[in-house]
Amino acid sequence: MEVKLFYKTQRDLANSVNQIVDAYWCSDISEDDFIRHVSAIYLNNSNKIIKQNGFTTILKQQCGKRRLDVIERILKLNGFIHDTQSTG
């Protein structure tokens, strides 16, 4: 699976996040690749993912709670966000 590092819009980024999470849930990509993709996307597009200590409205609408729960857990495990931040 090929993933861009930089996204023009939040909608493009949300579509990519959906594809990555769905591929992981279908066992099309490994857990290590999944974590690596999510981390790379966040490092290069953090301003399109989180604003005011929460996921952006577009991401919430396009990705849904279950996908964002998984993304949030990866970001917390890798130290990108802290447990005190409420991203939901």
Q: What pLDDT score was predicted for residue 16?
A: 96
Question: What pTM does this model have?
Answer: 0.87
Cβ contact 7:13 at 8 Å: yes
Radius of gyration of the chain (CA): 12
DSSP state of 27: T
**How far is 61 from 39, CA to CA, in rounded Å?**
21
Q: Is the dihedral of CA 28, 24, 39, 16 positive or negative?
A: positive
Residue 3 clears pLDDT 90, i.e. is over it: no
Q: What is the pLDDT of residues 28-79, one digit of tens each?
A: 999 999 999 999 999 999 999 999 889 999 999 999 999 999 999 999 999 9
HSE of 87, CA atoms in CB hemisphere, 13 A: 24
Q: 13-25, pLDDT tens digit by residue?
A: 999 999 999 999 9
